[in-house]
Amino acid sequence: MSRWFYVVAVGMFGTKRADVAHVGLGIADLVCARAFAFVLVVTFTTGHRSEGT
């Protein structure tokens, strides 16, 4: 599969998780945004290392 599929999947999953955390658990948006950014960086780094691009 294309790496862009994974980028979109992570984006959708991260957005859902952030909504649940913010609305359901009362966690601040800033905390959710930082956690999502960390997961996104890990995803890109893993993809870059595995594909070498």
Report field, pTM of the whole predicted structure over 0.85: no
Q: For position 38, what pLDDT does the model report?
A: 94
For residues 30-34, average pLDDT: 85
Q: Is residue 14 scored above 80 in pLDDT?
A: no
- Spell out the domain ranges in the chain: 3-51
What are the structure tokens assigned to 27, written together? 């966690």
Task: Summarize the confidence of residues 25-30 as an average pLDDT.
Answer: 87
**18 has pLDDT over 80:** no
Tell me the C-alpha to C-alpha distance, in Å, between residue 22 and each of 6, 8, 40: 24, 21, 18
Q: Token pair of 35, please?
A: 């956690």
Provide, rounded to the nearest whole percent, the portion of the chain with pLDDT above 90.
23
**What pLDDT, on the 0 to 100 scale, is given for residue 29?**
84
